[in-house]
Amino acid sequence: MVIEKLKPLFNYEELQEKSVSGNGMAGMDILSVQQFDREMLAYIFARAREMREMVQRVGEVDLLKGNVLTALFYEPSTRTSSSFIAAMERLGGAVIPITQGVQFSSVSKGETLADTVRTLEQYSDAIVLRHPQIGSAKLAADYSAVPVINAGDGAGEHPTQALLDLFTIREELGHVDGLRVAMVGDLRNGRTVHSLTKLLLHFDVSLRFVSPEILRLPLNIMNQVIDAGIDSRETHDVADVIDNADVLYVTRVQKERFADLAQYEEVKNHYEITPDLMKRAKEKMVIMHPLPRVGEIHYAIDDDPRAAYFRQVQNGMYIRMALLAAVLGRA
Ligand code: ASP
């Protein structure tokens, strides 16, 4: 196994103790989905629906006027960074974007994450952080007096993506309990898969994990699935799950997590969801993808009403508006 070993710097389980219900989220860091229970999810989703209605009717409000968010991205991002910026601006707040230029900032002079965070908190009311190292968001939160939101910590978690994924499932299909969810692709390195899987453990779902052998779901997450008593199975073949899936959650092979690029080349084109394959899928189901896609879903599927990935993107902004309002004490 040449893929870089995933070694957590801290124990996400500890965060469960910090779980709160209802609207007690003011000042809260959002580091892992394990901070959320069903009551809290319902609360965030209700706020996200209000945000959707507001955006569709008036476009913006001044709920977060006077608030400043720092978007600190040490890894590439298109959707997550721009949806946080859009979310903040639609709520009347301002953003310090350090999204494309980390290489031009003091980080390139050797500044530690702790010092960068302790500096940026002097200007801002919240910090959104994407960083290649598992546990980095927790580390930043330990140093920051303002809320830190994890926008992806290496191959660890991506909690705001999982919230928007679950919200999309709920809005598209009307419910979550009773659904058959199949996750396809790089389940080992895909942080969105890790977070969504953990979030789905709160529901009465059945899970199917479809990956090449070397990209199977990490054992610690599989153990959580088993401990939760969720019906689950692993397979290498999408054909095994396509007939029954209510949700087909497709992911990209995470090239940046491979120490050996030859190994990436071997598995990168393992799956492609094609119109032919979709003929076997249920009429009422959704295909989702956290994006970017690099060949996993054929473009001809984009016009299929079951293709929810761009609606998923839009939901991301509403969820992030709800989260920002909540942690800044305005929801
Ligand atoms: N955009 C998602 C992430 O940041 C998925 C991906 O990059 O494949 O994890």
The pair of three-digit structure tokens given for residue 303, joined into one six-digit string: 């016009």
Determine the pLDDT at residue 104: 63
189 lines ligand 1 (CB under 6 A): no
Amino acid at 304: D
Cα(7)–Cα(156) distance, integer angstroms: 9
Determine the pLDDT at residue 97: 94
DSSP one-letter code for 20:
-
Please list the ranges in the chain whose pLDDT falls under 70: 1-22, 101, 103-104
152 lines ligand 1 (CB under 6 A): yes
Cα torsion 195, 197, 199, 201 to 10°: value is: -150
Cα(32)–Cα(135) distance, integer angstroms: 10
Cα(103)–Cα(74) distance, integer angstroms: 8
Q: Which residues contact residue 265 at a Cβ distance below 8 angstroms, ignoring those fewer than 6 apart?
A: none
Index of the ligand 1 atom closest to the CA of residue 75: 4
Index of the ligand 1 atom closest to the CA of residue 190: 9
Q: Which protein residue's CA is at the shortest distance from atom 4 of ligand 1?
A: 152
Looking at 130, 170, 188, 252, which residue is catalytic? 130
154 lines ligand 1 (CB under 6 A): no
Determine the pLDDT at residue 24: 87
Looking at 52, 131, 158, 202, which residue is catalytic? 158
Q: Give the distance (Å) from ligand 1 centre to CA of residue 308.
A: 16
Determine the pLDDT at residue 13: 52
Helices (H) and strands (E) in the chain, counts: 10, 9
Please, what is the Cα angle at 116 between 328 and 148, to 5 degrees? 25
Cα(319)–Cα(323) distance, integer angstroms: 6
Q: Where are the alpha helices (DSSP H) in 184-274?
A: 191-200, 219-227, 261-267
Determine the pLDDT at residue 12: 46
Cα(59)–Cα(39) distance, integer angstroms: 28
The verdict on whether 79 is a catalytic residue reads: yes
Determine the pLDDT at residue 101: 66
Determine the pLDDT at residue 331: 87
